[in-house]
Amino acid sequence: MPIYDALKQSDPAIHAAVAGEMQRQREGVELIPSENYISAAVMETMGSVFNNKYSEGYPGRRYYGGQTYADQVESLAIERATRLFGAGHANVQPHAGAPANVAVYFALLQPGDTVLGMDLSHGGHLTHGHPVTYITRIFNFVRYKMKDATTGAIDYDEMRAVAKREKPKMILAGFSAYPRELDYAKMKSIAEEVGAYAVADMAHIAGLIAGKAARNPFDDNFDVMVTTTHKSLRGPRGGLILCRDADLGKRIDKSVFPGFQGGPIMQMVAAKAVAFGEALRPEFADYARQIVINAKRLAARFLDGGATLITGGTDNHLLLIDCVQSWGISGGEAEELFDRIGITLNKNVIADDPRKPMDPSGIRLGTPAVTTRGMGEVEMDALADFMLAAVAKRGDAAAVEALHREVKAFCMKYPLPG
Ligand code: DSN
């Protein structure tokens, strides 16, 4: 593990927090499905001298001098990203997923245009048009939902009817809490019927797509894919926009810079290049496949233990448990209980949740981070058993503390990468 000597000398308070976080990550289980552990190479690149460089513009077309090496890393990041996802064009500069989505909206839409996206409580994302986001002041968002939360089935006939009525200019596939595959071919055909762009926000499953453990929306002729780079893709924190068509690519580039962002965060662009290089290696496909195997195994163990899973299981890296139905406790209470035994996950709304987002009915958990740590099916059984035991013994503080010690001992067998 890194030592951070300079930081220790210069700022003991921040050094202590970094050391504490390192210990928390090492001694606990990370089941938040959007989190992961990066490699030492990605970590080193994030802390590199590229932090010191301004590089507004794109390779070969910059507004500042001294770009020899910045151009090299950005060009490599673009080339690797396009190869990884079968894209014609990549923009590797978005600072994060939310600004990447906003840059795509501005590249493809006019103010007042309509976007058809998944409802937040059915698995969609805040940036897909939740009323609390400012982007809803500019574009009009309408929603689709699951027709049946016990299976996760989406009613594509209903989606078509809504699309014909609302005439969206963009149909958004993608989610942050939906455990099933979407039917991209059907969504693309609906988009074509109404003259809309088909855009996939694949932030959660980018690593699965890269490793061919999930369908690639470009195979069904989607126009644009947007993603973060730090979830299942296991790169630095940041965003990425891909498209198939060069003209769209020009519009997206202009929208990212100068339309929406200033200088790229070049150390992160360089680290994205490193992560894309890692994802292009054959072992990354094994990793992606194992993420899904692990999630299915975790789901099966919870189902055996009597838990109610939204959609009844998973096709990807995540599961949603209805804690009220399963155990008679809220998602917030479950998150806190599992925190006490060293297992980190997040409370989450379930479809049309009657409870509030700060203490909803469900929890969301996923397997990208534990799979990076080398855990497989046997370990998934153990994790589910720790959690089910915590639920059963939740009134007994000493038993919960004993479980925490067991979880800690279990974790020490799986070192963090780097
Ligand atoms: N915060 C991310 C997640 O956990 O899914 C999405 O933005």
Question: In this predicted model, what pLDDT tens digit does every residue of 222-273 receive, in sequence order?
Answer: 999 999 999 999 999 999 999 999 999 999 999 999 999 999 999 999 999 9
Q: Measured in angstroms, how far is the CA atom of residue 126 from the centroid of ligand 1?
A: 9
Residue 44 is predicted with a pLDDT of 96
Q: Measured in angstroms, how far is the CA atom of residue 16 from the centroid of ligand 1?
A: 27
- Between CA 173 and CA 222 the distance in angstroms is 10
Beta bridge partners of 322: 362
Beta bridge partners of 109: none
Q: Which of 30, 175, 19 has its CA nearest to residue 97?
A: 175
Residue 348 one-letter amino acid: N
116-134 pLDDT per residue, tens: 999 999 999 999 999 999 9
Q: What is the CA radius of gyration of the chain?
A: 22
Residue 404 is predicted with a pLDDT of 98
**What average pLDDT does range 307-325 have in this prediction?**
98
| Residue among 30, 204, 365 to mutate when testing ligand 1 (max atoms within 8 A of CB) | 204
**What average pLDDT does range 198-210 have in this prediction?**
98
Q: Is 54 a catalytic residue?
A: yes
Nearest 5°: the CA angle 205, 206, 207 is 90
Nearest 5°: the CA angle 148, 150, 114 is 35
- Between CA 76 and CA 277 the distance in angstroms is 9
CA distances from 285 to 207, 214, 368, 375 (A): 9, 11, 13, 16
Supply the mean pLDDT for the chain: 97
Task: Verify cis geometry, omega within 30 degrees of 0, for the bond prior to 168.
Answer: no
> H or E segment at 347?
strand 346-348
Q: Measured in angstroms, how far is the CA atom of residue 120 from the centroid of ligand 1?
A: 12
Is residue 1's pLDDT more than 80? no
Residue 387 is predicted with a pLDDT of 98
Task: Look at ligand 1, atom 3, and give the residue with the nearest C-alpha.
Answer: 34
- Between CA 181 and CA 187 the distance in angstroms is 12
Q: Is 58 a catalytic residue?
A: no
Q: Indicate the pLDDT class of residue 418, thresholds 50, 70 and 90.
A: confident
CA distances from 309 to 43, 345, 371 (A): 35, 15, 21
Please give the structure tokens belonging to residue 24: 């928390």
Task: Indicate if ligand 1 lies below 6 Å from the C-beta of 34.
Answer: yes
Task: Indicate if ligand 1 lies below 6 Å from the C-beta of 176.
Answer: yes
Residue 116 is predicted with a pLDDT of 97
Please give the structure tokens belonging to residue 309: 């899973």
Q: Indicate the pLDDT class of residue 339, thresholds 50, 70 and 90.
A: very high
Task: Indicate if ligand 1 lies below 6 Å from the C-beta of 97.
Answer: yes
Q: Is 237 a catalytic residue?
A: yes
Q: Is 231 a catalytic residue?
A: yes
- Between CA 344 and CA 213 the distance in angstroms is 25
Share of the chain above pLDDT 90, in %: 99
286-303 pLDDT per residue, tens: 999 999 999 999 999 999
**What average pLDDT does range 33-53 have in this prediction?**
98
171, HSE (Cβ side, Cα atoms, 13 Å): 28
**What average pLDDT does range 398-405 have in this prediction?**
98
97-108 helix and 246-254 helix, angle to the nearest 10 degrees: 120
β-bridge pairing 57-58 and 61-62: antiparallel
Q: Is 289 a catalytic residue?
A: no
Residue 61 is predicted with a pLDDT of 97
Please give the structure tokens belonging to residue 358: 């700060």
Is residue 2's pLDDT more than 70? no
155-194 pLDDT per residue, tens: 999 999 999 999 999 999 999 999 999 999 999 999 999 9
Place of tokens 């690593």: 207
397-411 helix and 377-392 helix, angle to the nearest 10 degrees: 170
Q: Indicate the pLDDT class of residue 81, thresholds 50, 70 and 90.
A: very high
Q: Is 272 a catalytic residue?
A: no
Q: Which of 45, 82, 127, 228 is catalytic?
A: 228
